[in-house]
Amino acid sequence: FEMRPMERQQQCSFLQAYLRDDGRAEEVLDKLHRQPGAKTIAGSPILLRIVSEVAREGSDIPTGRAALYRRFLETSYRREVETAKGGGAEFPWSLEQVTDALSELAFRTRQNGIGTFSTDQAGDTLIRIVGENVDRFIDWMTQGTFLVRNSATGVISFWHETMQEYLCAEHLAARHEDLAPEALVGRSGQRPGTWAMPVSFALELIEEPSKALIDAAWKVEPLILAAAMRDTRHLKTAMVEGDTWTRGVLRALRGEDTSEEAREITIVARLPPKYPLSNYLVSTLRSSSFWYAAGTHETGTARLDRLRNLICGRQFPWIELLPSALAGNDEWGADLSPALRALVGVSPAPLLSEVLATATVSELCALRRQKRISAKIFLSQWEGALDRSTRAQLELDLVDILRSERSKVDEVVRKLLKRHGAVLRSIANEQDLSLRLLNILVRNAVVEPFEVRNEQGRLDSILSRMSIMNAIRLAKTGVIQRGDLDEDTRARLVFDKQTSQKQLKDAIDAGLLSDEDIPAELLKKIGPRSRETRKATPVKGERFRYQLADLVDDKARAEVDAQLRSRRWTVTLKRIQPNRIFGFARHSEFDSDIFCVLNNITSPEGIPISAGQTLDVRIVARFDRKRSEWGFAVDSGRTVE
């Protein structure tokens, strides 16, 4: 079941029942709906009841929920005073005492993460404010509309959480200049949104919020603060921190450029669903608190417009936030593009032809990742969508394409190389690039393994963050080797809880690990091959027969070179550089790619040389001037039918 807000006719009927005046009910409702945030108030039975109580006392309805609650408290207090006078008694507490006592109780219980409390707990908090008549005060409060007592257990709680939130705001408003930096941090911080509405209400009640309040609230509710603040001076100087997604949203609310955050998210590629979005960001966007905080003042409305342009702007990565934003504010579902409507299931449902005719690369990729379109459709449409891409978005779009379609990604890369080779190479050279994407680009010769290895700090960065799966991939493409792993890295890969026995076996097959790296008991479960088998197929064993390390020493290199020249080799041409001047071949006995100048290869049948062909060649040791190191190279050869 889902609780939906009351509709206009239900709201009117509700007020008619409480006010017992049909004309007055409609008048109150009209005034209410002219206020910012009126939809939230009018749609809630609890809040509308408060409106009706206030309306009984006068003709005006205060603007904003905090002011409405304050008027409700004042109205309730006056009634209690009048009731006491009618009985010939005097009400013993002033309005200030009542407000102070209730706000203190609300703040302390919320600060400690307490939802219910005993009479003794309440008394300990309130006695210094209301005096020795604290029990009488509690009895009086639990008879009204602020506190309720469970008749069976005797525990006390606030009548409704929204009333506790308002009273917390009164506490903050009274003491905001003296607030400690950590005042809102504590056990209560374990639950998202604890201080969202109190902070929002406090900013409604305080004309000039102090820096102390801003600093304390920024630690726990930066998004709410960014939405609720009327004055932009403090907001502009606040330090933008947190995860990259949250920083991007904060910058959008402040009217700043978000391109740096977008690029960081894209390059690192730690994206949902594998890497969930920040719980704080998602819960805030899905909450009514955020939308209320921004919707009650003109500056906040302008901030929401900027955020809408970002999230509904049809570009990766921000469209990932659209489902959460729509959960909090379904009005954003209007005027979405056909592709976004298909993505989030907003009516009216578009035709597939509408979607494909206008979809951006970001939208097309999102539809594919969520399996809203097939691989066949994606592969037939991505080039057209890329033609519509802007120069500023091009790099992000290319990464999005690479991460969205796995089945034929090599085919996609080959096409992209013809059009955007320089951009792909720039992406490959990003230090923080997703290792899965790096492997794809190395595999397709966008960048060579030695280039990655020789870039200062790159190899250390890869080793420090690679999972066992990425380690295996990068070992197969020659980016990392067993000798690169120090003891700690090797132990992390082997003993990580996520590492499976199959992955350990694959790591041995790729030459990344050897038998001695695996504990004996675990090695038995993996089932190592015999030494004879490893000799016959050195690519899958502990050590390649020919390794780059053997070419460093002059004497050893001479011996290896003599062995290489003593026979011919059957190799596979794995990839060819876009300029078609050279390529790289592979053989199971070599630990690295074998450099191959294509002009040194003949094709007896006249068939053009292409990746995947089998070659019959002579292999020698050659010095690579660019890398300043020795390697393996094809001296001459021919294609094999």
Overall average pLDDT of the 28-33 stretch: 88
Task: Name the residue with tokens 């109150």.
Answer: 28
Residues 6+ away with beta carbon under 8 Å from 110:
164, 168, 188, 194, 195, 198
Cα–Cα distance measured from residue 610 to residue 414, given in angstroms and rounded to the nearest whole number:
13
Average pLDDT across the chain, whole number = 88
| Distance from C-alpha of 32 to C-alpha of 163, rounded to nearest angstrom | 19
Share of the chain above pLDDT 70, in %: 96
629 HSE (CA, 13 A, CB side): 14
Q: Which of 414, 463, 459, 468 lies closest to 441, judged by CA?
A: 414
Confidence band (pLDDT; 50, 70, 90) for 436? very high
Q: Higher model confidence: residue 95 or residue 144?
A: 95
Q: Which of 49-63, 247-261, 478-492 is predicted with the least confidence, judged by mean pLDDT?
A: 49-63
Show the CA angle centred on residue 70, arms to residues 67 and 74, nearest 5°: 140
Phi, psi dihedrals of residue 575, rounded to the nearest 5°: -155, 155
- For residue 1, the model assigns a pLDDT of 67
Side-chain half-sphere exposure of 255, counting CA atoms within 13 A = 10
CA dist., res. 235 & res. 514, Å (int):
56
189 has pLDDT over 60: no
Mean pLDDT of 299-304: 94
* Separation between Cα atoms, residue 133 and residue 146, nearest integer Å: 18
CA–CA dist 221, 631 (Å, integer):
57
Range 263-280 average pLDDT: 84
123: tokens are 């008394």
Reply yes or no on whether the pLDDT at 437 is more than 70: yes
Q: Is 350 left (phi over 0), alpha (psi -120 to 50) or beta?
A: beta
pTM for the predicted model, two decimal places: 0.76
pLDDT at position 543: 52
CATH T-level topology, domain 548-639: OB fold (Dihydrolipoamide Acetyltransferase, E2P) (2.40.50)
- The dihedral built from the CA positions of residue 545, 550, 556 and 562, taken in this order, carries a sign that is positive
- Per-residue confidence at 259, pLDDT binned at 50, 70, 90? very high
186, 255 Cβ separation under 8 angstroms = no
pLDDT of residue 260: 92
Q: How far apart are CA 97 and CA 101, in angstroms?
A: 6
Lowest mean pLDDT among 94-103, 123-132, 237-246: 237-246
pLDDT at position 534 is 35
pLDDT at 162 over 70: yes
* pLDDT at 272 (0 to 100): 78
Max mean pLDDT among 181-190, 229-238, 452-461 falls in 452-461
Domain ranges for the chain, please list them. 1-89, 355-447, 452-543, 548-639
Mean pLDDT of the 268-286 span: 86
Higher local confidence (pLDDT), 241 or 529: 241
Quick check: helix, strand or coil at residue 370?
Answer: coil
pLDDT the model gives residue 510: 85
Tell me which amino acid residue 469 is. Answer: M
Asked whether residue 343 carries a pLDDT value surpassing 90, the answer given is: yes
Q: Residue 450 — φ and ψ, nearest 5°?
A: -65, -30
Task: Look at phi and psi of residue 595 and say left if phi exceeds 0, alpha if psi is from -120 to 50, else beta.
Answer: beta
Beta bridge partners of 570: 616
How far is C-alpha 463 from the chain's CA centre?
Answer: 24
Does residue 252 surpass a pLDDT of 60? yes
State the pLDDT at residue 532: 34
| Pairing state between β 601-602 and 594-597 | unpaired
Residue 188 has pLDDT above 60, yes or no: no
In angstroms, rounded to a whole number, what is the distance separating the alpha carbons of residues 6 and 61?
Answer: 19
Q: How confident is the model at residue 602 (pLDDT cuts 50, 70, 90)?
A: confident
State how far the Cα of 623 lies from the Cα of 75, in Å rounded to an integer. Answer: 91
**297 has a pLDDT exceeding 50:** yes
